[in-house]
Structure 1
């Protein structure tokens, strides 16, 4: 089973970036308890003042999909929606690198 990755560009409504970042950081903290979530990083853009980037790596796509059905995730999404002007997700297949758990399950 392939790992699943995503990079999402969140454009906050003017003046809402910090509030949106706080919600995304809450989500990141919650992911500490989710073994299938290997990486969840919230980033600020240096060049776009209303932009945040979220980088995610999951053990498999189904785990990511299941996380979106969790009540806490759905509640966070509802709180974030009014702050968001746009979202541009890009789905990825992680191959490996520093910080990424082994792609070989027997390793």
Structure 2
């Protein structure tokens, strides 16, 4: 079953684009580690929030990705730009009308 991780990241005022740049850098390591989809989004209604939707082959693949040097480096780079407000949820995908 596919694992979904959906979250929100609060960003410091004026830092949203910098966080987006960090999160959207191409990464072949993510695909190799079991990431099926990693989408970053914004909403005009929430200018200091970045939205992230991830699909993984399993919860274990997601957890293991957090140990990748490139992921650790991206997290370290983004952390000073974040406000500390985080939200989200995780779930097992049970189906889709598209597949």
CA contact (8 A) 2:10 2:82 kept: yes
Q: Distance in 1 between matches of 2:97 and 2:18?
A: 30
TM-score calculated relative to the size of structure 2: 0.87
* Aligned match of 1:94: 93
Superposition pairs for residues 43-62 of structure 1, below 5 Å? 43-62=41-60
TM-score calculated relative to the size of structure 1: 0.81
Paired positions, count:
97
* Aligned match of 2:82: 84
Q: Which runs of 5+ in 2 are unaligned?
A: none
| Deviation, structure 1 residue 51 | 1.0
Q: Pick one of 27, 31, 36 that aligns with 1:30.
A: 27
* Aligned match of 1:71: 69
Q: Which has the higher strand share?
A: 2
